[in-house]
Amino acid sequence: MKQLYDVLIVGGGVVGSAIAREMSRYSLKIGVLEKNLDVCCETSGRNSGVVHGGFAYDTGSLKAKLCLEGNKIMGQLARELDFAFDRCGKVLVGNTPEDMETLERTMKQGAANGVTTLELVDKKRLHELVPAVNGEFAMYSPDSGIVDPFHYTIALAENACANGVDYFSDHEVTDIKRDEEGHYVMTVSGKEFHTRWVVNSAGLGCGKISELLGLKGYKIIGSKGDYIILDKRTGPLLPMPVYPVPSNTYMGIHVTNTTDGNVIVGPNADLTDNFTYYGVSSENMDYLAKSASDLWPCIHKSDYIRNYSGILPKWVDENGTIQDFKIEIQDETAPCAINLIGIESPGLTAAVPIARYAISLMAEREKLTENPSFNPIRKGIDRFAELSMEEQDSKISENPDYGEVICRCEKVTKAEILQAIHNPLGVDTMTGIKYRTRSMMGRCQGGYCQMRIAQLLEEELGKKESQIQYSRKGSFMFYGKVRQEVE
């Protein structure tokens, strides 16, 4: 007998998982079909981790409205879902009369969008806020902040899962049809899923899923941004993100502090039609460092520990002009299908308001009954390194695995690794452990702990070494043993 879902969500990134979590407030049978092996492998995990203030988007746009809403509730979400968030502020730094004119226009746009805390600051005040910055003046946004995008996405997904949502990783949708009852039939690797409602929250794949739903004509382009990650010793020199004065469509290469104490340099913005290539060239790294050093002259190659890139799905019109978020239901063409197009920045900030907006469209078409057992609280993995000595002693007394450090750089214990291995979503990749614990994210980038974590995955999950994958499907780390015991 076929299983019928009330809602199937295509894409388990930050927006898809926010929709799953918010929909689980209602008595609905919900599933999430995620093509990757984890929920933050693409745009949701490959960004600057900035919580935007809402001043940079056209007045009246969904981007402006939902970004501001997301900014306001981020603190409450962090408390409910136990992820790192710091409302540290942000500055946009200028030097010329033209820069001042742009910042004044940005201030007016911010006020029109409902942002009430923006202020222009002089050189003295700017250097009080960020002593190491180069600049004559700035616009200061005290309500902007930073978030751990991995933990935020994972927290939303785990809370949704705890509230009854089914997550299916490695489930790429290849076909969508409707049966004689009007239900959607979604094909994944020859397997069929049946549902009354579909939500297209596929991020970089939103155009493809929209086409499968019969909603045609959306042109999606990729904007690829490269980043450099700096060692934590640079963190104290950057108390908040520092941006240049923005252009109409691009915020510019900036430097951003992270909730873990590192500094991120970037991104640039290169158009691409390849949504799976994340390589970073040495030329681009040199360009990032040179450009960002004009703002913040603390960038040295000796502090580079890693690079990465991310791709934003931008919806453009026939002239190539970037469009607003599209969140729609086209009742005549695809009834009971919520279509999300071009959810790029500020999608991380706006994820939960986007979810609530999407659900409001659904609620206009059918009555939703509240789920009496919904629990908004999720507890993450305690970070042993951040506990007091007394708390650490107590943890070790309760569980000796807290006394064994697996990742020396980030001081991650065996107990934390084991909790990550047995995560509620069933993710069993190396980066799945990395994103949940910060192991392999320190100075040595896994040189010490990576093999130990792989061994724990083998032992805990009964896997062979040849089954351990790093991140993406097919990213097998080992082909076998170097040495084999002879009986």
Residues designated catalytic = 52
Instruction: Tell which phi-psi region holds residue 212, choosing left (phi > 0), alpha (psi between -120 and 50) or beta.
Output: alpha
Q: Find the farthest-apart pair of alpha carbons in the chain and give their distance in angstroms, rounded.
A: 79
Q: What are phi and psi of 149, to 5 degrees?
A: -65, -30
CB 261 within 8 A of CB 232: yes
Q: What is the C-alpha to C-alpha distance for residues 418 and 414, in angstroms, rounded to an integer?
A: 6
Strands 166-168 and 30-33: parallel
What amino acid occupies position 415? Answer: A
Adjacent-strand bridge partners of 30: 7
- H helices of 42-148, in order, are 62-81, 97-113, 123-129
194 token code pair = 């049946």
Q: What is the C-alpha to C-alpha distance for residues 314 and 276, in angstroms, rounded to an integer?
A: 15
- Output the CA torsion 148→149→155→156 (10° steps): 140
180 token code pair = 């004689």
How open is the CA angle 435-441-443, to the nearest 5 degrees?
175
Q: What is the C-alpha to C-alpha distance for residues 473 and 464, in angstroms, rounded to an integer?
A: 16
- Output the CA torsion 29→37→170→227 (10° steps): 110
86 token code pair = 């710091």
Q: What is the C-alpha to C-alpha distance for residues 377 and 15, in angstroms, rounded to an integer?
A: 18
Separation in Å, CA 228 to CA 91, 175, 184, 361: 20, 38, 43, 40
Strands 175-178 and 184-188: antiparallel
